[in-house]
Each structure stands twice: as structure tokens, then as C-alpha cells.
Structure 1
């Protein structure tokens, strides 16, 4: 299993995929073509999304094919050197993936060792379910079940913020609701500028910020990039 699960595509004041580009280069190694899944895009076209990703991946000498141009998307996944799943709306993404048979195809290839890169919604769909996304359910998927490439849930863009004058729930409170309803599941609050890398049975946190871990019956706690994360695997 080889996964690079990125919290966000763009840090404040930076360009698209600027901060993780070095990690993407190292992760892909000799791969020179990736299959891109653009279905999280809602307010802009899949063609535009492919072009945006290609502009960054061209720096790496990597060609970006998009699955929306394929006559048989599932077959394209099964033939791909690597798959890249972009962020946007997780509900739109998983519905299209389910409709085209991509969830199972990606799962099969990833478990055979195909490199998988996802950011934001693309990280959500690598989890057992999409239930820890931050997104509004603008469309209804067949189910919340995702690819299950990792055993735990990820909350991308995790923030500790509680703005002055805001009386609603914090992100932590929402996740505490989730683990109360799903007591056997870990949730990893992945802060912006950070990513998770899986190589076989090894999980690593990359970035300069800790990750917040939630599990029912345990006080939320922080883990740092140099710490053992095997308990999540």
C-alpha cells in the first residue's frame, strides 16, 4: 500500500499544490503519468481542474490524464500507473466514483501497491467512509462508504478555531459527536499544511504541525511527525 493523503491543496499566500509538490515528486518516483479523478469539482469544469493539476505536475515531468475523458473509467483505473484524487465537494466526488465503479477499482489497485495521492476530499474517500468530511451534502451518494484504504477516518483542514461571537459547534465538538456514534473508530484531525504517507504497514505524519487524534473513551490528544502512529494501522 502506497498512499499520500494531503490535508489541503493550497496554503494561505501560496500557489496551488505548492507546499506538497516536493513530497509528491518524491512519492511518485519514476511514475510519469497519473490518472486524475476530478469529480469533486462543482463550480468549475473538469477540464479546468485537469489543466490546473497539469500545470503543477508538469514541473515534475508527469502527464495528467483525467478519468472524465475515458470511455471506461474503471478500466482506466485498473491500467493506471498512479491515481490522483482532487479536493472539492466530497459528496459529489463519491457519488460519481460510485456510479462509475471507481471505488472498488481504486481499492483493488491500491491494495496491489498502486500509488494513490489525494487531497482534501481525495483524502476523505481513502477512509472507510466519508462521514468526517467538512462538506455540505449537495448531492446524495448511494452510501457513505468509501475506499477504505486506511482503517481510520481523516478530518482534513482540521482547525482548533472558535471565532469570537460564534456560538455554534467547533470542529472538535463535531468530531466528538462522530466518535460517540462510532466508538470503535479513530479520527485523525489533519491540520492544513500536513499530510499522511503510508508505505506498506508504516504510517508517517509529514508537516510542521501536530495531528489531533480522537477516539471514544479517550481524551483527544496530539501526535507529532516523529511519533509512532502504528496504533492507527
Structure 2
């Protein structure tokens, strides 16, 4: 299994995917990538923008929404990339199109799966650690389950002495851990995971790991996080949520 799970597609002050251009080239090589644009409403414009950025890395992109049978195309794809946007809208589209099993089938036979933000959320066991507003209602929160732990993309550290009275990301994740004994990796902007079978390596930037009854842990670039493989111990029946 080969995965590239990015916190974000655009770093402040840089071009889309500019911070990970070499990683994209190394990850996909000569494979044509089927792009899944369903996290945004305008599929054509989104695909065109991503195709332009991927071309700078020497990677060819085709929007899966342009093919007659998206499920069949994804099941047979050599490379898949799922773009960011609203995770709830994305998951509902995948469910309605029968694309969950198609992507699992592709990854199971060796297709390379990449995602940013919402696309990274899809690789987790469930949607429960997204930052997004539920603008639509999916048919349950279970996602692809390609990894055994949760990711919180765009993770932001608490701001000392902030006057904001809402919960920080750290507090939200603590609430999640009160109900679910599953690790959550907070990926900061510019960070991504490179997963190869049971190997998990953090690249690009740092991350913070949250586990139940354990203080948050900082991990640096090139850290080996392979110990997270097989780490999911309990969800409260996520498939029925």
C-alpha cells in the first residue's frame, strides 16, 4: 500500500502544491492520476487548477468526473488523488457514487493514493477528526480506512493569551479521545505522511500526536511513525454513525 497524505495543498505565500512538488513527482512517477474533485462544487475548475499544478511536477491528471463510469475507472487506476474542500460533501459523493469500495480495491492491488486535507481525512477510519462544517449529511462517518489512526489536517497550536473563547484544536481532539481510543495525528501546514505498507514517515513539517491518557507528543521531520500501524483499538460502531 502506497499513500501520500498531505495536510494542505497550498502553503502561505507559495503556489498550489509548491511545497511538495518533488514528493508528487517521486510518488506518482509516470502514472496518470485520476483526480477526485468532489469536495468542491465546481469540478471542472478545480480539476484544471490541480492539473496545472501537477504538471509542474511532471504528473498527468484527469478528472474522474469526466469519465462515463467513475467507479470502474477508480478501481482500475494506477494513481488516485483526492482533493481538499468540504469533507462531508466529499464523503457523501463517494458514498453515492459507489466509490469507497472502488478506491479500496485500487489501493489493495497497488494503486497509489494521495490526498490533501479532506482527501487525507478520507484515508482515515472515519470522518470524525475533520475541521469542516457539515454542510451536507453523509450516510455515516466511516471512510476508506486505509490507515489505522485519525488525522487532523491543518492542525493549529493553541495561541497563548488569545481572547478567542471557542475551543482550540487540541481541546476538540481531547473531546474525541474521551469517546474514541484511537490516536489522532495533528498535521501542521506543510506536513505530509508517506506510507509504504507498514512504514509511515513524517515529511515536510512537524506534527503533534494525541493519544488517550498520554500527554501530546511532538514529532519532527523524517520521524518514523510506523508504530501507529494497527493502533486503532475502539470506535463506537463508526459504520453505523
TM (norm. structure 2) is 0.91
Distance 1:166 1:145, change over 3 A: same
* Paired residues of 2:202 and 2:222 also in contact (CA < 8 A): yes
Superposed CA offset, 1:41-90 (max 9, x none)? 13xx1000010011112223332111111221110101212001000000
Cα displacement (A) at 1:218: 1.0
Tell me which stretches of 4 or more aligned residues in structure 1 moved more than 4 Å. none
CA shift digits 1:168-192 (9 cap, x unpaired): 1100000000011002x01000000
Separation in 2 of the partners of 1:11 and 1:18? 8
2:10 alignment counterpart: 10
- CA contact under 8 A between 1:111 and 1:149: conserved in structure 2? no
Length, aligned pairs only: 228
Aligned to 1:206: 203
Aligned Cα root-mean-square deviation (Å): 1.2
Are positions 1:88 and 2:85 aligned together? yes
> Any stretches of 5+ residues in structure 1 without a counterpart?
none
Query: For the residues of structure 2 that align with 1:73 and 1:26, how far apart are their CA atoms?
Result: 26
**2:225 is matched with which residue: 201, 208, 229?**
229
Counterpart of 1:172 in structure 2 is 170
2:94 maps to: 97
Kindly provide the CA deviation profile for residues 182-218 of structure 1, in whole angstroms up to 9, marking residues without a partner as x: 02x01000000110000121100001x3211111111
Matched, 1:66 2:63: yes
Q: Does 1:220 align with 2:216?
A: yes
> Deviation string for 1:129-172 (max 9, x for gaps)?
01100000000000100000000000000010337210111000
Per the TM alignment, residue 30 of structure 1 is displaced from its structure 2 partner at its CA by 2.8
Equivalence map 1:1-233=2 (5 Å): 1-31=1-31, 33-42=32-41, 45-162=42-159, 164-183=162-181, 185-207=182-204, 209-233=205-229
Unaligned runs of 5+ in 2: 230-241
Classify the secondary structure of the residue corresponding to 2:55.
Answer: helix
1:28 deviation in Å?
1.0
Deviation string 1:14-54 (CA, Å, 9 cap, x unpaired) is: 111111111100111232x1101000013xx1000010011
Cα distance in 2 between the residues matched to 1:7 and 1:186 = 16
Question: Do the aligned partners of 2:37 and 2:46 also contact (CA within 8 Å) in 1?
Answer: yes
- Within 2, Cα distance between the matches of 1:8 and 1:128? 19
CA shift, 1:93, in A, is: 0.3
